[in-house]
């Protein structure tokens, strides 16, 4: 099934290489090529279909957090979101998307700095149960989305 990206934030969907590189520098990581491509074309948008499996349940991929700052917006930006979440999310786990319930879809660099997996961070779980694997790559996550 093909993914259709739908506007969510009032922002240009095309992140620049400079914006992406700036975020990578702050995080001290290199984003995978498939995720970088999504930022260059779909930042601030949400995919349809949008549901994904996590553990024994499902969640919804609501919005791909942007690398480009919007004037006056301190909520929907990769760095601002990380600043809000950093005391709760382990080091090496980078939030990249938000779900309707306030959970995050994240890149997990802890096991492999060159090939991060995709994990789900559940803000209502205690620390040792909050992170669950959902896909081996960003492309695999998109391929697994359903209605």
Q: What is the pLDDT of residues 45-78, one digit of tens each?
A: 999 999 999 988 999 999 999 999 876 655 678 9
CATH number at residue 86: 3.40.1580.10
pLDDT at site 73? 59
Q: What is the pLDDT of residues 11-22, one digit of tens each?
A: 889 999 999 999
Among 132, 109, 135, 108, which residue's Cα sits nearest to residue 120?
132
Query: Rounded distance, CA 130 to CA 95, Å?
Result: 13
Peptide bond into 49 cis (omega under 30): yes
Q: Could you list the residue range(s) of the whole structural domain that residue 67 is in?
A: 4-144
Kindly give the interhelix angle for 33-42 and 17-27, rounded to the nearest 10 degrees. 130
């Amino acid at each position: 099934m093909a993914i259709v990206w739908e506007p969510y934030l009032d922002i240009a969907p095309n992140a620049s290489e400079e914006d992406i590189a700036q975020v990578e520098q702050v995080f001290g990581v290199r984003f995978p090529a498939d995720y970088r491509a999504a930022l260059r074309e779909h930042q601030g948008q949400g995919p349809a279909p949008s549901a994904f499996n996590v553990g024994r349940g499902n969640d919804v991929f609501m919005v791909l957090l942007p690398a480009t700052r919007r004037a006056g917006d301190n909520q929907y930006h990769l760095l601002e979101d990380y600043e809000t979440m950093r005391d709760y999310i382990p080091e090496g786990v980078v939030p990249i998307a938000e779900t309707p319930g306030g959970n995050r879809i994240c890149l997990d660099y802890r096991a492999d700095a060159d090939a991060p997996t995709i994990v789900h961070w559940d803000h209502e779980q205690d620390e040792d149960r909050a992170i669950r694997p959902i896909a081996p790559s960003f492309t695999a996550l998109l391929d697994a989305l359903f209605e």
